[in-house]
Amino acid sequence: MGVYRARGLTNGYLPEAAFLHLAPTALGYVDLEAPLALKHPAPESAGPGCRDALVMVRLHGEPLAIIHIDAPLEQISAAILSTGIWGSCAEAIRSHCKHFACREAPREAEELVAGLVAIGAGCPGARSTSDGASVTVVIPTCGRPQKLARCLRTVSELDRDNFDVVVVDNRPNIPGTRDVVSAFSEHLSVRYVAEPRPGSSVARNRGLSEASSEFVAFADDDVLVDPSWLSWLLDPFTDPAVKAVAGMILPLELQTESQKRLEQYAGFSKGVTAHKYDLAEHRARNRLLYPYWGGMFGSGASMAFRRTEILSIGGFDPALGAGSPARAGADIEAFTAAILRGGQVVYQPRAVCWHEHTRDPNALRRTLFDYGAGFSAVLTKYLIHDVHFLPALARSVPLAMVNRRKRRSTPSSRLPKALARVERHGMARGPWLYARSQRWARKLALGEVIERG
C-alpha cells in the first residue's frame, strides 16, 4: 500500500496508474486546511470494490496535485493519506505557504493530519475577487430530470448569491424537466425555457439570449459543481483581456471499463496548473494546430464568457456540437474564436466540477466517434473560412511526427485498436458531416437563434 508512482498521465492529466487495470477506482478530494479526511463528491464516487483511489489535494482552495493511492478504499487511513500527500505535494505545500504568507510551512507528513489552518485573517489566496460580477448560469438539458436535479442541487449550494440560472429544455416533449426546475425555485433564481429546435449549440444560444448579466457561465446537466465553482470560474475576468474561462472537470466515478477508457483517452481535466492562451506571449507553440483545435483549453461542461464577447462571435455555431450532424466541437470552437479575435482564454483549475462518464460501452463508442467527427469538422470550418489555417497546419507537421514517435514508444497510452478505429472513422467522416450540418442548420433556420458574425 501507499502512493503508486505513475509512469505518466492520461489525456485528462490523471495518474495513469489507476488506468492500468479495469477494477473500480474511487474518486475523492482532500482539503488540507481541515483535519485530514478523504471526501467524495457523491456516493457513486466511492462505489463498492474500489481497488485504489484518485485524490485531488487542495490547500486553501488551490489544487496542488491529483495523486494515486494504491490501496483499497476501505484501507485508506489518515496515515496513508498524509504519507501519500507529503510524498507528492510537500514542495507544492511549502510553495503555497511561502507565496501567500498564510502560515508556517509544515516540516513533516504528520503535521497534515490536524489540518494546515491559515493564521490571522486567513489565506489571501483562498478568496476570489469576482463577488460583485453579475452572471447567468445556463444549463442545457435533454430529457434527463434526475441528472438535472442532482446538478441543480449543487448549484443551489454555491458560495455566492449574485447569479441566476436558466435551464434550457432541449427535449420539452419528455416530461419532468419543468417540474424539477419548479422544485428548485424556492432555493434558486431559476427559470425554465423550452427550446425544441435540436442541438447543444441551439440550447446554449437560447440560454445566452435569455441572459442580461455581464457574464454567462455554462454547465452540463450531468455535472456536480463544487461550492466555489462559479466564484473561481469568474475570477480570471478581473483581467479585461480575458474573454473566456474553462474550469477543471474531473470524473465523478470510475467504476466501469467504459468510464476508464473515456477518461484515459478523452479526459476533460487539463491539470492543476492555471494557463493563459492567446496569440501573443501566451501562445502554446508546442501544441498541434494552435489555436484551431481548442481541446487544450477546456470543455463546454464548465465554461464562462463575457456576454458581449460571446455575442460578438455570434454565439455557438449551430452547425457544430451535440445534436447536429457534425456531432461535437461547438464549445471548444468558441474558445478558438475568442483567441482569434485577440482575446485570452484561461484554464482555471480552482473552478472544479465532476462529470458523470457513461457506463455504456455502446455510448462510449458513439462518444469517441462524435469527438473524432467534431475534431475534423472544426478543422474543416477553419480550412474553408480562415486563410491563416494552412500556415498553422504546415507548422504542425514536424510536431505531429514527434508526437507519433512518442505514442509508439508508450503503448499503454494508446486506445485499444477497436476503439481507435471508431475515433478515426469519426475523423474521416467529419468534413462530410460538417457540410451536411451546415445545410441542416440553414434548413431549420438555426442561425437565427443568434446571428453569427
- Quick one: 247 and 217 in the same domain? yes
C-alpha cell read off for 244: 473566456
- Quick one: 107 and 173 in the same domain? no
State which H helix or E strand residue 378 sits in.
helix 361-385
What is the tens place of the pLDDT at every residue in 236-294? 999 999 999 999 999 999 999 999 999 998 899 999 999 999 999 999 988 889 999 87
Residue 315 structural domain: 135-370
Instruction: Identify residue 438 by its one-letter amino acid code.
Output: Q
What is the tens place of the pLDDT at every residue in 11-37? 899 999 999 999 999 999 999 999 999
Contact 122, 103 (CB under 8 A): no
- Quick one: 144 and 81 in the same domain? no
Residues 6+ apart with CB under 8 A from 61: 123, 125, 126, 228, 232, 350
Q: What is the mean pLDDT of residues 140-163?
A: 96
Contact 452, 315 (CB under 8 A): yes
- Quick one: 66 and 190 in the same domain? no
Q: 418 in a domain, yes or no?
A: no
Cα separations (Å) of 351 from 63, 219, 232, 303, 355? 10, 12, 5, 9, 13
Q: Determine the pLDDT at residue 44.
A: 94
Adjacent-strand bridge partners of 191: 166
What is the tens place of the pLDDT at every residue in 119-143? 988 999 998 988 788 999 999 999 9
Question: What is d(CA 340, CA 108) in angstroms, rounded to the nearest whole number?
Answer: 47
Domain boundary among 322, 345, 370: 370
C-alpha cell read off for 401: 511526427
**What's the pLDDT band for 2 if we cut at 50, 70, 90?**
very low
What is the tens place of the pLDDT at every residue in 313-335? 999 999 999 999 999 999 999 99
Q: pTM to 2 decimals?
A: 0.94
Question: What is d(CA 366, CA 360) in angstroms, rounded to the nearest whole number?
Answer: 10
What is the tens place of the pLDDT at every residue in 30-82? 999 999 999 999 999 998 899 999 999 999 999 999 999 999 999 999 999 99
Domain boundary among 77, 105, 126: 126
Domain boundary among 348, 370, 392: 370
Q: Determine the pLDDT at residue 452.
A: 41
Q: Determine the pLDDT at residue 400.
A: 63
Q: Total structural domains in the chain?
A: 2
- Quick one: 88 and 157 in the same domain? no
Residues 6+ apart with CB under 8 A from 47: 24, 26, 253, 255
- Quick one: 109 and 226 in the same domain? no
- Quick one: 111 and 141 in the same domain? no
CA nearest to 7, candidates 414, 417, 413: 413
**What's the pLDDT band for 150 if we cut at 50, 70, 90?**
very high
Q: Determine the pLDDT at residue 287.
A: 86
